[in-house]
Each structure stands twice: as structure tokens, then as C-alpha cells.
Structure 1
Amino acid sequence: MKIVVTGGLGFIGSHTVVELQNENLEVVVIDNLSNSSIEVLDGIERITGKKPIFENFDLRDKKATQDFFKRHSDVAGVIHFAASKAVGESVKDPLLYYENNVASLVYILQELQKKPQAQIIFSSSCTVYGQAEVMPIAETTPIQVAMSPYGNTKQIGEEIIADVTKMSNINAILLRYFNPIGAHPSAEIGELPIGVPQNLVPFITQTGIGLRNELLVYGNDYPTIDGTCVRDYIHVVDLAKAHVLALQRLLNKKNLEKLEVFNLGTGKGSSVLEVIQAFEKVSGTKLPYRIVARREGDVTSTYANTDKANAILGWKTQSTLEEAMASAWKWEQKVRQR
């Protein structure tokens, strides 16, 4: 059974490819390598013993997308990761985010709706909730105005899929991630951003290993336990396994509705300073950091109610924050040794 994974050499995508191949599914990866490395293919092969089919093109290219689905007419489902994903960058360059995150989704859906039946899992985000008024956040929590263009592209993507599933043979699951961190326990794949990291944990590990002079903590005057932003940090392998369960639900026609939504998180919030402390504990390294002004687009606090995913998908996180930080540090050290 052939499964397409867009952005499949990225951080979450590559870990999901590993879990799919562990279930003996045939995977076709699409990635334009704009924020990933071709070497990730080798890491996937070293873990699973099999290299996925790989196609290098940009999903904003409508004709290239059409040609791909003509060549791979036997695709059973798509897991769509390919998107720009940094809140701060989206504030600075909103048109890049609207073009990249919305156009690519539309072109994929146009091809899927030509099929008698198709399945798509959409890589969404807790940013669709904006600054929720009540914690923890459940799937029924009202959607607030997005705090960033990135968050808005995820809201728009969900709305597009909802409209399309109403009038086509496409079934969909929206997976709203909280904050993925960590790396595969083998340290063969992990988070390796190109340029300056936009996410907290790779900036921490790069600072810990000496690649960055110091970590900037954006704000310490939020109404939280220690004044820094609170997020729900989930190990990327736990997250990847949820995609396999969601895909199997669609392929086995276990879904009760044409469009289903699940939160994926640990159900526990951790502040930026708590994440730093967890890193210092597992690494034995003192981290240099400096408090600076708040960053535009950041919400104060967000963590998940995962009851629905626990009950319906039969999924639950396994790794602690410290275990996730330890795996991220192991990955960072291995990357720098190379």
C-alpha cells in the first residue's frame, strides 16, 4: 500500500516515515530540501533497512504535482507535512507562508479528489486555537483569531479540507500538534534546521554544544509559573506513531466522520525555563541564556487535553520531557561529530 509523505525528510516527516516503514507500508517521500537534507534518506535506511522512494520537487509547482500523481496512480493516502512552520518568520514574511502552506495543499487536494476514494492526514497545529481562554485545550475549544500568519495558514488549511471533504470522496484527519521535540533513539535522524533555529530545543542544543553563544528567552513577564511562555512538549517519536494509528483508522474505514480532529500532546505544560533546566540536568551542561523582550506572535500558554486521541486512536505519549531532551542532545552530539 503506497503512502505519500510530503515534507518527508523534515523533522516530523522523517520520523513518521520510519514508523510507516516499520509497519511494512511503502512510502513515497516528496521534499524540496528547502529545510531538510538529502542525508536524512540514509538515516531512515539505517534505522529501517529500507530507503523510501524519493522525489525532489516543490509542491507549489502545480504541473509537477499533477505529474507526480499521474506517475503514482496507486497512492492510498497522503500525510501532508510540507509547509513553512516558524511563527516569527511568518510575521516577517507572511506572503511566503500563504503561498507555501496554502497553495501546496490545494494542489494536492485537487489531485486526490480525482480518485474514487482518498485519504489525507493534515499536519495541523495547536496554533489554530490562538490564545485559548481555558487550559487544557480540547478539540472543542473555540478557535480564536490566529496570533500569526503561520497559525492562520493552519486555520485556513483546516477550513479548506473541511469544505472539500463535504463534497468529495476524500476522508481526512486533522492532527493538531503541540510542540514536537527530541530525536530518534538511534540518533540517526533528528531536528536539524538550516540556518538559525526557529524552535526552542535545537537552539538549546546548539547553544549547549557551543555553536551559538547564548540562548535568547523571549519575555519573562508572562502570567505563568516563572514568567516565561508555557508549551506542551511532545517527543517526536510519540507523535510519529500517532500518524500511523490515524492512517490505519482511515485505511481500515474506522473513521466515524469524513473529517476527524485530534490533539496530539502530553497534556502537560512546561515553561521555557523548565525546558532549559531539563536540558541542563540530562546534559550536565550549564546553558548560557539571556532574557529579552517578548516576540510578536507568541501566545502565553498552551497545552493539550488528549483524552480524545487516547480513547479513539488508542494512543498515548510514552516519553518524558527529560527523555526527549536527552534524545535531542544525543542527536546534536552525533551531528557535530560528523
Structure 2
Amino acid sequence: MKILVTGGAGYIGSHAVVELYQAGYQPVIVDNFSNSEESALAGIEAIIGAKVPTYRIDCADNAALRTVFQTEEKIDGVIHFAAYKAVGESVQKPLAYFQNNVGSLLTLLEVMTEFEVTNLVFSSSCTVYGIPDALPVTEATPSKPASSPYGRTKQMCEDVVHDVSAAPTNKLHTILLRYFNPIGAHNSAKIGELPLGVPNNLVPYITQTAAGIREQLTINGGDYDTPDGTNIRDYIHVVDLAKAHVVAVQRLLDRKASEVVETFNVGTGHGNSVLEVVQAFEQASGLKLNYHIGPRRAGDVPAIYADATKAEQVLGFKTETSLLDSLASAWKWQQTLHKNG
């Protein structure tokens, strides 16, 4: 079974490619490398011992995307990761986010329809819930206005999928995976998070500070209505998250879905504050971090974490990796980058 992975050289995408291959699928990567590095391809190859067909194209380019579907014989399904993903950056560059995130999905759906590819796993986000009234959030939690353009693009993409699926001629079957906060790296330390420039995400900022690349970690806000004043998030190990995609793909191919569009939260079901993550990293690494509390960052939600019951009961997926082990893998990855850099 051949699975097209858009954004397959990115952080989550590269780990999903490895898990797909190891589960017996043939992944095919599409990536424009605007937010990823070609070194990820070498890392994937080193782990699985094989080259993965890779196309350097933009998913919003209809003609280029069509050539992939024409060149590769039968594509059985698509996992759509390709998107801009930084909450703070989306506040600064909203047009770019709408053009890229929504535009690439529209183009992909057009081409999938043309080539009669009917299975899609879509990379959604817990940002679709906005600032929820109650925690943890379930899949039935009402979506409030998103706190950032990034979150709005994910809401819009989910709406697009539902509307396309409601059309009388629709043959598309979709699983929407609403991720929480992926962290960590493959246990081989051959692939991991590779932020370009200053990291937007907490954990690479932590590991770069610990490695001496950054002088100090700035925590974005210490006056939220949380027990220690810092944001609370649900941190899931990236390999666990990647495995959820394999389970979702298999569910689609086996036609086990109860609806044409199914939605699942993919998280641990537990929230940790930023300060708790800092302290856990210090425990996992044996290092003391230089950090201070800075101003809030535009677009950030005070607290959100998942109710992961549906994923466990219906999808048959449950996370396996602890916060400490996730952070230890991130630190191992950072040390490998430092050694090879």
C-alpha cells in the first residue's frame, strides 16, 4: 500500500514516514523544504535502510502535485502534514498562513478527486478549540474562536473536509487528528525537530539553551490563570504521534470508520505547565537551565489538554512515552546535532 506523505521531511512527517515503512507501507514524500531540511531524508534512510521516493514540490501547485499522482502508480491514501505551524508567526503573517495552509488542502483535494484517491488523514490541531470553557477537551467540545490565524486555518480546513464529504458525489473518507504538543525525537537520534532560526516551540528552545546555543530561555508569560502562572499543554512524544497516523491509515484502508469524517484527539490526556516541563528537563538531563519569565506571546491559549478516551476506545491508540523519556530523547537529539554540527 502506497501512502503519500505531504510535509514528509518535516518534524512529525519524518517520524510518520519511518513508522509507515516499518508497518509495511510504502511512503512517498512530498515536501517543498520551506520549513524542513534535506538532512531528514538521510536520517530516515539510516533508520529504515532504504530510500523513500521524494518530490520537491509545493502542495499548493496543482500541476506539480498532479505529476506525483501520475508518476507513482496507485496511491492508496494521503497523510497531509504540509502546513505552516507557528502560532506566533501566524499573528505576524496571517495571509501567508491562509494561502499556504488552506490553499494546499484545496489543491490536494482537487488532485485526489481527479485521481480517485479516497483516503485522507489530516493533520489538525487542538488550536481548533480556541480557549475552551472546560478541561480536558473532548472531540465534542465546541470550537470557540481560534486565538491565532494558525488555529483559524485548521478550523477552516476541517470545515472544508466536512463540506466536501457532504457533497452527493463524495467518495472521500477522512480522519482528522487533532494533535496536542509533539516533543522529543526518534530513539536513534537520527531524526528530530529541526527548527530554522530561533525556535517557536518550547522544547527545542530548552535544548538549545542547555546546549549553549541560546543564552537564556524566555518563558512566554507567568501570569496566566494556572497553578504556577505558566501555560499548560499536553506534550506527546512524536513517535507516539506518528504511530497514531499508521493506525488511522489502516482504519481508513480497512473501511472501519463509522462516518465519512472521523475526529480524534491525539494527546496523553495530561497537562503540564511550562515550568513543569523545564523542571522535568532538568531532571532528565541533570542540567540547570538559565530561564526567565517574559511577556505573554500573542495567540497563546492559557491551558489546554486532551481527553484521549475516544482515541483509545475507537482508534485503538494510546500514548506510551513519559514526559521524562520524551525530554531525554530531545536532549539526546540536540547533543547529536551539536556533535555533527
What is the letter of the counterpart of residue 111 of structure 1?
Answer: V
Q: 1:113 aligns to what SS in structure 2?
A: helix
Q: Deviations over 1:16-67 (max 9, x none)?
A: 0000000121111001111111111111111111221100011122221222
Higher deviation after alignment, 197-206 or 45-54: 45-54
Which residue pairs with 1:111 in the alignment? 111
How many residue pairs match? The answer is 338
User: Do 2:60 and 2:108's aligned partners in 1 also have CA atoms closer than 8 Å?
Assistant: no
Structure 1 residue 90 corresponds to structure 2 residue 66? no
* TM-score with structure 1 setting the length: 0.99
C-alpha change, 1:333 and 1:117, in structure 2 (3 Å) is closer
Alignment partner of 1:215 out of 214, 217, 240: 217
Which residue pairs with 1:228 in the alignment? 230
Q: CA deviation at 1:72?
A: 2.6
User: Do 2:75 and 2:117's aligned partners in 1 also have CA atoms closer than 8 Å?
Assistant: no
Identity score, percent: 54
Structure 1 residue 77 corresponds to structure 2 residue 77? yes
Distance 2:266 2:60 in 1: 28
Which residue pairs with 1:11 in the alignment? 11
Distance 1:298 1:191 in 2: 21
Higher deviation after alignment, 120-129 or 160-169: 160-169
Q: Deviations over 1:84-136 (max 9, x none)?
A: 00000000000010011011100000011224451000000000000101100
Q: 1:154 aligns to what SS in structure 2?
A: helix
User: Do 1:36 and 1:192's aligned partners in 2 also have CA atoms closer than 8 Å?
Assistant: yes
Alignment partner of 1:274 out of 273, 276, 279: 276
Structure 1 residue 100 corresponds to structure 2 residue 100? yes
Distance 2:73 2:336 in 1: 39
Which residue pairs with 1:45 in the alignment? 45
C-alpha change, 1:325 and 1:146, in structure 2 (3 Å) is same
Distance 1:101 1:83 in 2: 5
Q: Deviations over 1:160-200 (max 9, x none)?
A: 01111122111000000000000001101000111111100
What is the letter of the counterpart of residue 8 of structure 2?
Answer: G
Distance 1:72 1:108 in 2: 15
Q: 2:76 aligns to what SS in structure 1?
A: strand
Which residue pairs with 1:309 in the alignment? 311
Which residue pairs with 2:188 in the alignment? 186
1:322-333 pair list within 5 angstroms: 322-333=324-335
Which residue pairs with 1:200 in the alignment? 202
The root-mean-square deviation of aligned C-alpha atoms, in Å, is 0.9
Distance 1:114 1:257 in 2: 22
What is the letter of the counterpart of residue 92 of structure 1?
Answer: Q
Q: CA deviation at 1:73?
A: 4.6
Distance 2:234 2:246 in 1: 21
What is the letter of the counterpart of residue 83 of structure 1?
Answer: A
- Structure 1 runs of 4+ aligned residues shifted over 3 Å read none
* TM-score with structure 2 setting the length: 0.98
